[in-house]
Amino acid sequence: MSKLVNPHGSNELKPLLIEGNEAKEGLRKAEELKRVTMTTREASDLIMLGIAAFNPLDGFMGHDDWKGVCGSYSMPSRKNLFWPIPITLSTDKATADSIKLGEEVALFDLETEAIMGTMKVAEKYTIDKEYECKQVFRTTDSKHPGVQKVMEQGPINLAGPVKVYSESYYPEMFKGIYQRPAEARKAFLERGWSTVAALQLRNPMHNSHAYLAWVAIEVCDGVYIHQLVGKLKEGDIPAEVRVKAIDALVNKYFRKERVIQGGYPMEMRYGGPREALLHAVFRQNYGCSHLIVGRDHAGVGDYYGPFDAQKIFLEIPKDALELKPLPLDWTFHCYECGGMASMKTCPHETKAVIDDNGNYKGGARLLLSGTLLRKLMSEAKPVPKEFSKPEVIAILKEYYDQLEQKVEIKLHGAATGETKK
């Protein structure tokens, strides 16, 4: 009989999402409460709390947990439970001053102009934002999208347990892809899976991603292609386009009994190694035994080394997670090998040269990356056929052709192979 890994920090999922008539009544009462406006990141974190993706958290973190998570990956309020990134809610001083400790407030999503839940305020506190950025992102550079979000937070953090009444537009907009952890676990068990490798995706699935998934299927019962459908930075491909492209590839090039697709609503933090650990935490809650960790996992620009996200799993306590990383080396198409290969398998070290018309001119290794793909597509340059499947390229071309204003895509070392291990 198949048995999945336990949820993080407990032997069962503890969702905070309230549904049906109870939710309707809760929302009615929430209309009479003081409102705390959430950023898009905070709203998506609230949904992750609601569906138990952030199990076993019961709300937004207080000061001691914020400090413990930043400094030592641990939450003092939960017997030093392992946790890698703060989950916090901020507001302006006037709003904070108007709220009494113990008071229940409505959590308002400015994007959808709707109340999504409530929180009983147990604590109000200030933080050192630069300290959080240094610990979590390893930088205080305002150009880093995760740093930018933290520095734009309100000056006061509010903490306390939450009740969640809404999953926003995700269930309808991403019907058939969006999944709660309990739904993914049910699907795994129905297939008799015990070992499941999660493939994190924030880009359309090109051939390197597919290769990683195929390798994972060889060592696990199946692969969970888990797409981020929350907010991304400017220039990234919208979730609905990515979902369509990934679906086209999976339906044609994977055995259906070995793959399940899912989507989750978290907003990308681009936190590199720390975010890889957060990805591991909530993938364990989804029932995954392994997380594929490849090149530049959850990274952005040149803030992290291409394999820093693999190294960080060696730095945390061995009992921090039941889920284990599945570290895989840099993969690429090798013209000498005649197909996909990796740094561990391919002996041909020359870099492939492609001309402006997308034609192969010589060399061995064609390094594939989502950033390079976006740059080629946004500049209307031909994409080498070895880069991605034709069905994916056609969908992306249709998207880029209809854009009235193109966003400049800058290549970084992790995308071009210029950085060292």
**Residue 201: its pLDDT value, please?**
92
Q: Is the pLDDT of residue 235 over 80?
A: no
Among 147, 168, 189, the domain-final residue is 168
Kindly name the residue from 202, 242, 283, 374 that is annotated as catalytic: 202
Kindly name the residue from 157, 203, 207, 285 that is annotated as catalytic: 203
Q: Is residue 2 part of a domain?
A: no
Single-letter residue type at 186: K
Clarify whether residues 97 and 232 are in a common domain.
no
Range list of β-strands (E), 202-309: 222-228, 259-264, 290-293
Q: Is residue 11 part of a domain?
A: no
Q: Is residue 230 part of a domain?
A: yes
Clarify whether residues 32 and 150 are in a common domain.
yes
Clarify whether residues 362 and 246 are in a common domain.
yes
Q: Is the pLDDT of residue 409 over 70?
A: no
Q: Is residue 15 part of a domain?
A: no
Q: Is residue 254 part of a domain?
A: yes
- What confidence tens digit (pLDDT) does each residue in 255-302 have? 999 999 999 999 999 999 999 999 999 999 999 999 999 999 999 999
* Choice between 121 and 420, residue whose per-residue pLDDT is larger: 121
Contact (Cβ atoms closer than 8 angstroms) between residue 54 and residue 45: yes
- What confidence tens digit (pLDDT) does each residue in 328-347 have? 999 999 999 999 999 999 99
Q: Is the pLDDT of residue 236 over 90?
A: no
Indicate the average pLDDT of the chain.
93
Clarify whether residues 257 and 402 are in a common domain.
yes
Clarify whether residues 147 and 216 are in a common domain.
no
**Residue 405: its pLDDT value, please?**
64
Clarify whether residues 238 and 386 are in a common domain.
yes
**Residue 1: its pLDDT value, please?**
57
Contact (Cβ atoms closer than 8 angstroms) between residue 141 and residue 147: yes
- CB neighbours of residue 35 within 10 Å: 14
**Residue 14 — pLDDT band, cuts 50, 70, 90?**
very high
Q: Which residues span the domain enclosing 286?
A: 169-264+270-421
Contact (Cβ atoms closer than 8 angstroms) between residue 86 and residue 132: yes
* Choice between 376 and 153, residue whose per-residue pLDDT is larger: 153
CATH number, residue 159 = 3.10.400.10
Pick from 175, 182, 156: nearest CA to 50? 182
Clarify whether residues 297 and 406 are in a common domain.
yes
Clarify whether residues 144 and 180 are in a common domain.
no
Q: Is residue 149 part of a domain?
A: yes
- What confidence tens digit (pLDDT) does each residue in 139-180 have? 999 999 999 999 999 999 999 999 999 999 999 999 999 999
% of the chain beyond a pLDDT of 90: 82
Q: Is the pLDDT of residue 416 over 80?
A: no
Clarify whether residues 244 and 322 are in a common domain.
yes
Among 168, 194, 227, the domain-final residue is 168
Instruction: For residue 202, indicate whether it is catalytic.
Output: yes
As to burial, measured by CB atoms within 10 angstroms (0-12 exposed, 13-18 middle, 19+ buried), residue 318 is exposed
What is the domain count for the chain?
Answer: 2
**Residue 305 — pLDDT band, cuts 50, 70, 90?**
very high
Q: Is residue 14 part of a domain?
A: no
Q: Is the pLDDT of residue 21 over 70?
A: yes
* Choice between 123 and 202, residue whose per-residue pLDDT is larger: 123
Clarify whether residues 210 and 353 are in a common domain.
yes
Collapse the DSSP code of 276 into the 3-class scheme (helix H, G, I; strand E, B; otherwise coil) and give the result: helix
- What confidence tens digit (pLDDT) does each residue in 68-105 have? 999 999 999 999 999 999 999 999 999 999 999 999 99
Q: Is residue 12 part of a domain?
A: no
Clarify whether residues 173 and 163 are in a common domain.
no
**Residue 2: its pLDDT value, please?**
74
- What confidence tens digit (pLDDT) does each residue in 62-75 have? 999 999 999 999 99
Clarify whether residues 201 and 80 are in a common domain.
no
CA distance 351 to 349: 6
**Residue 367: its pLDDT value, please?**
87
Among 145, 168, 191, the domain-final residue is 168
Highest mean pLDDT: which of 171-180, 232-241, 386-395? Answer: 171-180
**Residue 371 — pLDDT band, cuts 50, 70, 90?**
confident
Sequence-distant (6+) residues with CB within 8 A of 96 are: 124, 154, 156, 158
CA distance 414 to 273: 14
